[in-house]
Chains A and B, each alone.
Chain A
Amino acid sequence: MADTGGQQLFDLWKKQVEDGTQQWLKMMGTPQAQTLDPQAFWRPFMDHCMAGWAKVMTQGTASPDLMGQWKQFLDQWIAAWSKVLEQAMGTEAFAKVIGTQLEGFLNAASPAKKAAEQHIEATLGGLGIPSRSQVTGIARQIVQLEEKLEGVEDRLEAVLKRLNDLAAALRQEPR
């Protein structure tokens, strides 16, 4: 694990990332009239990240556990990004975007799926091969049959139990 000096640098880095996140989220919250410039969009966050990382590099560290520190840095980096993404994904704007995307996909998929199914059904029918829906239908019937059997089994068990109870009662009765 990193020494105290290394830890301080990571704390500094973390603070930089969090400040960057806040700025980034502030930007997300402000209405944008013109087209979004990706560079301008990411700059507040990236500038803070770069500044923090530059400071870590220039201040240096005497610890030979460079790999451990590097791993810790990456963990912090991923955690910071995770936090940023989680905050962004927890907005109604994001939910609306994925909802719209999904709806678009469903609108496109629905007729395509239907057409493909009809086509396959017709082709298989022509070849005398049972189609997917026919196989599914048979499987569904088997499931229903199993349920009916369970019902019969239950009733049979109930009848047997009653018969056993009756037999026990008869055995106890004086002749």
Chain B
Amino acid sequence: MKDELFTMATEIPGLSPEARARWQHEMERTLLRMKHFAEMVMNPQEPVVGPTPRQEIYRKNKSRLYRYASTRTHRTPLLFVPNLGISRPYIFDLMAHGSFVEHMTQQGFDFYLVDWGVFGEEDNGLTVEDAVTKILPRLAQKALESSGASEMSVLGYCMGAPLSACFVATHPEFPAKNYINMAGPIDFAHVGLFGLWLDPRFFDVDKYVDTLGSVPPDMIKAGFKLLKPTMDLSAGLNLWWNLWNPEYVSGFNALNKWANEYVAFPGEFFRQWVREFYQENRLIRGELVMGGTKVNLARITCPVLAVGAREDNIAPPGCVKPLIEAVGSTDREYVEMPGGHISLIAGRGASVHCWPTVASWLAARS
């Protein structure tokens, strides 16, 4: 078939040799595209995700603490706190040679990952306060004990950043050596479209939680799809364009698996998250209370790095950067990277921009 198509191309009158070569090249790619498309449809393979070896250190209800061991060239281990709900944390270790976890362990950091888990109906009473004052302190303490280190760096990504910032600010007994906020909203006055849609004039969070009990995965999916309606179209087009490349296809399959695996929010968690963070912006105002203690970000005095992503529409740079002014640290830095909320931490761009920046910043302070 390939030969036939190529013969057809050579028969087109007036076609230059350059155009003929390009035509042949394009035909070859198109045939590969068709082959890979047929494989994807007829014989779909479950992508292998989370390839870096890990050890479960502790479990509390649905939450798990995992350790990814390294050669440990740096004394201070790293505790990674991702978002609770929304998505699964294997995006940070999506595939070999494309994993933030792998990069950090190769750089010599012992990496502790908090996996909040998938909460069920029985957890609908769980609040943000519970996550910050009950789950996180316990997992952080277990990580510290497991590492044998005297101090630990904390990295919060997305929603994990405000949660871990609240934890560090209200738990002075925890020896936080460094703190990193990666694409985590702090000042919710600049949080973009979600901030507008969740405005109390348009969104009644009480009615929502009282009716549904929790936020089902399909609702979360709908919200995120609405945030970028052309995303699927764009992803589909890029897939078609790169379908000839088996590496791209396997990366797409892994990312696609993750992107379609949404995780529910416990009802009371969502209520507190929306009301106190999105609607009342209590964190940056210093009005948030966790476990009877006012969350004062100025009590974070260790070195702080905040990383924003230029095209992030979930946590735009404007809501990430204010952490720098709010903390009490003298060693504080804000950097802005190209990319969006996910591409900041996963993918080729992240391996070029974000991972080395974070690793070198930490290495100098660990």
Residues of A in contact with B (beta carbons under 8 Å apart): 64-65, 67, 71, 74-75, 78-79, 81-82, 85-86, 89-90, 92, 95-96, 98-99, 102-103, 106, 109-110, 113, 132, 136-137, 139-140, 142-143, 146-147, 150
With A136-B121, A143-B123 known as contacts, the answer to whether A102 contacts B61 (CB < 8 A) is: no
Please report the C-alpha to C-alpha distance between residue A54 and residue B290 in the assembled complex, in whole angstroms.
61
The 5 closest A-B pairs by CB, nearest first: A99-B202, A139-B122, A64-B19, A82-B230, A140-B122
Cβ contact of B193, chosen from A79, A90, A139, A146, cutoff 8 A: A90
8 Å CB contact of A78 from B16, B22, B60, B237: B237
- Chain B residues with Cβ below 8 Å from A110 are 211
List 15 A–B pairs whose Cβ atoms lie within 8 Å, in order of A's numbering.
A71-B237, A78-B234, A82-B228, A82-B234, A95-B197, A95-B199, A95-B201, A98-B197, A113-B212, A136-B120, A136-B121, A136-B122, A139-B120, A143-B122, A147-B134
Most B Cβ at <10 Å: residue of A67, A85, A132, A147: A67
Please state if A146 and B61 are interface contacts (CB–CB under 8 Å).
Answer: yes
- Indicate whether B233 reaches chain A with its CB closer than 8 angstroms: yes
Q: Does B353 contact A (CB under 8 A)?
A: no
In the complex, B291 has a CB within 8 A of chain A = no
Q: Is B229 an interface residue (CB 8 A)?
A: yes
Residue of B nearest to A100 (CB): B202
Which residues on the A side are within 8 Å of B202 (C-beta)? Answer: 92, 95-96, 98-99
Question: Least Cβ distance of B275 to chain A in Å?
Answer: 15
CB of A32, distance to nearest CB on chain B (Å): 21
A142 CB contacts on chain B under 8 angstroms = 122
Q: Mark B195-217, 1 if CB is under 8 A from A, else 0.
A: 01101011110011001100000
- A116 CB, min distance to chain B CBs, angstroms: 13
Could you say which residues of chain B place their CB within 8 Å of the CB of A82? 228-230, 234
A95: chain B residues within 8 A (beta carbon): 196-197, 199, 201-202
> Please, how many angstroms separate the alpha-carbon atoms of A64 and B24 in the complex?
12
Count residues on chain B whose CB falls below 8 Å from chain A CBs.
36
Q: Which residues of the other chain, B, contact A96 by a CB distance below 8 angstroms?
A: 201-202
Contacts of B26 in A (CB 8 A): 67
Residue of A nearest to B198 (CB): A95
Closest-CB distance, B91 to chain A (whole angstroms): 22
B237 partner residues in chain A, CB cutoff 8 A: 71, 74-75, 78
Contacts A113-B211, A140-B122: A103 and B197 contacting too (C-beta < 8 A)?
A: no
Chain B interface (Cβ < 8 Å from any Cβ of A): 16, 18-19, 22-23, 26, 60-61, 120-123, 125, 134, 138, 193, 196-197, 199, 201-204, 207-208, 211-212, 226, 228-230, 233-234, 237, 241, 313
Residues of B within 8 A of A103 (CB): 204, 207
Q: Give the residues in chain B near A75, CB-CB below 8 Å.
A: 234, 237
Find out whether the CB atom of B16 lies under 8 angstroms from the CB atom of A90.
no
Known: A85-B230, A96-B202. A150 touches B60 (CB 8 A): yes
- Minimum C-beta distance from B253 to chain A (A): 21
In the assembled complex, the CB of A127 is this many whole angstroms from the nearest CB of chain B, namely 21
In the bound complex, residues from chain B placing their C-beta under 8 Å from that of A81 are 230
- Cα(A81)–Cα(B199), bound, Å: 25
Given A82-B228, A82-B234, 12 further pairs, Cβ under 8 A: A64-B22, A64-B23, A65-B22, A75-B234, A82-B229, A85-B229, A95-B199, A98-B202, A106-B211, A113-B212, A143-B123, A146-B61
Q: CA of A79 to CA of B228 in the docked complex: distance in angstroms?
A: 11
Bound form: Cα–Cα A81–B193 in Å: 17
- List, in ascending order, chain B residues with CB within 8 A of A143's CB: 61, 122-123
User: Smallest distance from the beta carbon of A43 to chain B beta carbons, Å?
Assistant: 21
What's the Cα separation between A103 and B120 when bound, in Å?
Answer: 24
Which residues does chain B contribute within 8 Å of A136, judged by CB atoms? 120-122
Closest beta carbon of chain A to B236's beta carbon, Å: 10
Q: Which of B202, B207, B229 has the most CB of A within 10 A?
A: B202
| Distance of A74 Cα from B121 Cα, bound (Å) | 43
